[in-house]
Amino acid sequence: QVQLVESGGGLVQAGGSLRLSCAASGRTVSSYSMGWFRQAIGKEREFVAAISWSGVATSYADSVKGRFTISRDNANNTMYLQMNSLKPEDTAVYFCAARREPIVAGFDRANIRDWGQGTQVTVSS
């Protein structure tokens, strides 16, 4: 299994930016695809973005395309989510996730075994 710890959440005004980090540890971390989900109050946990082990392939939810950028630094076992042009509807708890496959395909809740504890992102209008 892999252990995941998120950081970087906070309170920002609409139009602002935040950068989330996810530090990973455990066996075979370097071969895991990784990504982010978020969950707002009263809503289901939804997919945000994912990145392959190589870092070449990425996938984004339509709601964040053009505003969020996912990246990873395998040397430091860390994944990032750069969030720009934030909107109030981005307010949620953001969860780091890892899948025990190197590719992005199939990165959804049903296939995720490892989750971080979540970090709160609040965007005020």
Average pLDDT over residues 76-80: 94
| Closest to 3 measured CA to CA, from 22, 20, 25 | 25
pLDDT digits (tens, 9 = 90+) for 92-108: 999 999 998 999 999 99
| Residue 1: predicted pLDDT | 77
Q: Distance between CA atoms of 48 and 28, rounded to whole angstroms?
A: 23
Q: What is the mean pLDDT of the chain?
A: 95
pLDDT digits (tens, 9 = 90+) for 17-47: 999 999 999 875 568 999 999 999 999 999 9
CB under 8 Å, gap of 24 or more: what pairs does 53-57 form? 53/102, 53/103, 54/102, 57/103, 57/104
